[in-house]
Amino acid sequence: MILSTAQMLDAEAKAFAEGHTAEELMEQAGWQLAALVRQFHPSPGTCRVFFGKGHNGGDVLVAARHLAAEGWMITLEPVFPEAALSPLTAIQLSRIPPSSIGRVRPLVVLDGILGIGTQGDPREPVASAIHRVNHLREHKAAWVLAADLPSGLREGTVGNPCVKADATMAMGFVKSCLVADHATDFVGRLALADLPALRAPTESDSAEILTPKILSLPPRSFDRHKGLCGRVAILAGSRCYPGAARLCSAAAVKAGAGLVTLVVPPDCVAPLSSSVIPEVMVRPLDDFRVLLNEKWDAFGIGPGLGRERDEMICDFLRLCSVPCVVDADALNALAGQVHLLEETIAPRLLTPHPLELERLYPRRNRDRRQWLADFISRYPVTLLLKGARTLVGNNKTPISFNTTGHPGMASGGMGDVLTGVSAALIGQGRDIVESAQLAAWVCGRAAELAILDNMVSQESLTASDVINSLGGAFRDLRAGVF
């Protein structure tokens, strides 16, 4: 659920009335902040802690105490004199052990300057502290983690100045300002700290935030075999775009499909047969409609197909009684016949980026969430709207916001991987919405792991790197990382 500032303050007040203490919540929040730092920076480094006088400051001081115990060098950056701190924040400050200060990488900055109750643009000395945080990120390669929300962000607007965070850990519930379109570049990667004492009011926003606590990936039964893991056909590729077919089919294999067949035009079967991974079967076929009379569990259609077969693609999607993931050139084919989506005979997952959705359904100044909501209210399909904060929804389930990923995914081939993963999950018998949610989270987490594990940077990340890290992402989902 997503809460407004007023709803969050009310949830806290009710928790305190039931006997929970601010210190209890602070200790839980700070421990999870430290855990998120370790998730992205397993080796201890230097942590600079910017804290204000309120309880957000106490949260980051608790995190600093845990990091110091694990060998991190801590630099305290108080925004106000100690005498101005709230009593509980002052207590947490006194618990920070003496720490030797040095220049050790990684450099992490904790932002606990402002909380949810602030009004108006930040004034001094807060404004200068925010500028220092942003300077460290911009010029010293600091990784900035905001506690609850980036200082300066509030409902309806971004303050001037505002912290630009690489990650934000919301406490208990995500606040509505964190998922607004204008906030994405300031919030960064979104994580959620579990504070069991806080309960959402019944009238709160029902949208979901995708975390391992929401998503489900039960272990496979021991007697499972490939016939039970889905027969998946990937309809992708052409002479001009063979790479899309290779990426999509490989991702379907790595996401657990039992049998993956890549269906391609006869004129490109030879180069693709020799370049796909060995687990992928390649089948030449002039007319996709032949597949309609065969047994399949899921189709992924569109990556690299080109525009020469638009009519065939539309006929296939109109007649196919099997769940389909529709992407790339299949979406472009539908743009001229979008009415075909008004009545579908089997589940359809559409995975457009904004330009592809614009061709299907013009945005007309709507925010991303409203754009998706209006589309799924008109067409009985599941829509995954790609972007820095991927959205998933259909007209039967709450809209969900993905949390994983980073700007390194802004490169060619990432959508092909997502299509393959989505088709594989659907082929294994999962609900189409659940499959879309899982695919979005897993692909984003795989992109994070590629940087953590393989000495890859955001600039050098490739779609192949994401495929190679899918296994770790599935493990992390089961392990319940943030």
> CA 297, CA 206: separation in Å to the nearest integer?
31
pTM > 0.85: yes or no: yes
Exposure letters 61-98 (e unless 16+ CB within 10 A, then b): bbbbbbbbeeebbbebbbbbeeeebeebbbebbeebee
DSSP code of 218? P
Q: Hey, CA dihedral for 180, 186, 192, 197, is it positive or negative?
A: negative
Q: Are residues 120 and 232 in the same domain?
A: no
Roughly how many angstroms between the first and final C-alpha of the chain, as a whole number? 16
Q: Are residues 184 and 303 in the same domain?
A: no
User: Is 217 among the domain residues?
Assistant: no
Question: Are 459 and 409 within 8 A, CB to CB?
Answer: no
- What was the pLDDT predicted at 453? 81
Do 233 and 134 lie in one domain? The reply is no
Q: Are residues 341 and 293 in the same domain?
A: yes
User: d(Cα 60, Cα 171) in Å, to the nearest integer?
Assistant: 12
The phi-psi region of residue 168 (left if phi > 0; otherwise alpha if psi is between -120 and 50; otherwise beta) is beta
- 215 occurs within a structural domain: no
User: In terms of Cα–Cα distance, which of 123, 101, 117, 119 is closest to 49?
Assistant: 101
Q: Supply the pLDDT for residue 83.
A: 95
Question: What span, in angstroms and rounded, lies between the C-alpha atoms of 83 and 237?
Answer: 66
Q: What angle do CA 206, 209, 214 make, to 5 degrees?
A: 95
Q: Are 309 and 246 in contact (CB under 8 A)?
A: no
Number of domains the chain contains = 2
Read off the CATH number of the domain in which 397 is found.
3.40.1190.20
Listed in sequence order, the residues at least 6 apart from 186 whose beta carbon sits closer than 8 Å to its beta carbon are 150, 152, 153, 158, 162, 163, 164, 165
pLDDT, position 173: 96
Look up the CATH number of the domain holding residue 15.
3.40.50.10260
Question: Could you tell me if residue 80 is inside a domain?
Answer: yes
| Shared domain check, 256 and 344 | yes
The answer to whether residues 92 and 186 belong to one domain is yes
Do 334 and 460 belong together in one domain?
yes
Nearest to 351 by CA among 433, 448, 235: 433
pLDDT tens-place values along the chain, 482 residues long: 899 989 999 999 999 999 999 999 999 999 999 999 999 999 999 999 999 999 999 999 999 999 999 999 999 999 999 999 999 999 999 999 876 566 678 999 999 999 998 889 999 999 999 999 999 999 999 999 999 999 999 988 999 999 999 999 999 999 999 999 999 999 999 999 999 999 988 888 999 999 999 998 999 999 999 999 999 999 999 999 999 999 999 999 999 999 999 999 999 999 999 999 999 999 999 999 999 999 999 999 999 999 999 999 999 999 999 999 999 999 999 998 999 999 999 999 999 999 999 999 999 999 999 999 999 999 999 999 999 999 999 999 999 999 999 999 999 999 999 999 999 999 999 999 999 999 999 999 999 999 998 789 999 999 999 999 999 999 999 999 99
- Which residue, 140, 171, 206, sits at the end of a domain? 206
Q: Report the C-alpha gap between 133 and 128 in whole angstroms.
A: 9
400 and 266 both lie in a single domain = yes
220 within a domain of the structure (yes/no): no
Model pLDDT, residue 118: 85
Q: How far is CA 122 from CA 85, 114, 119, 174, 262, in A?
A: 17, 9, 8, 22, 56
Assess if residue 298 is contained within a domain. Answer: yes
The verdict on 309 and 395 lying in the same domain is: yes
Give me the DSSP letters along 92-158: HHHTSPP------SSEEEEEES--TT--SS--TTHHHHHHHHHHHHHHH-PEEEEESS-TTEETTEE
Q: Both 232 and 160 in a single domain?
A: no
Q: Residue 102: what pLDDT?
A: 65
Domain finish residue from 176, 206, 236: 206
pLDDT tens digits for range 407-427 = 999 999 999 999 999 999 999
**Domain range for 245:** 226-479
Question: Is 211 within the bounds of a domain?
Answer: no
Residue 100, pLDDT score: 58
Q: Is residue 243, in this structure, part of any structural domain at all?
A: yes
Nearest to 25 by CA among 198, 209, 211: 198
Whether residues 94 and 239 fall in one domain: no
| Chain segment 107-162, per-residue pLDDT in tens | 999 999 999 988 899 999 999 999 999 999 999 999 999 999 999 999 889 999 99
In a domain, 116, yes or no: yes
Give the rounded distance of the alpha carbon of 368 from its chain centre: 15
H-type alpha helices, 141-239: 184-187
Q: What's residue 101's pLDDT?
A: 60
Determine contact, residues 190/168, Cβ cutoff 8 Å: yes
Same domain, yes or no: 151 and 235: no
Distance CA 429, CA 452 (A): 32
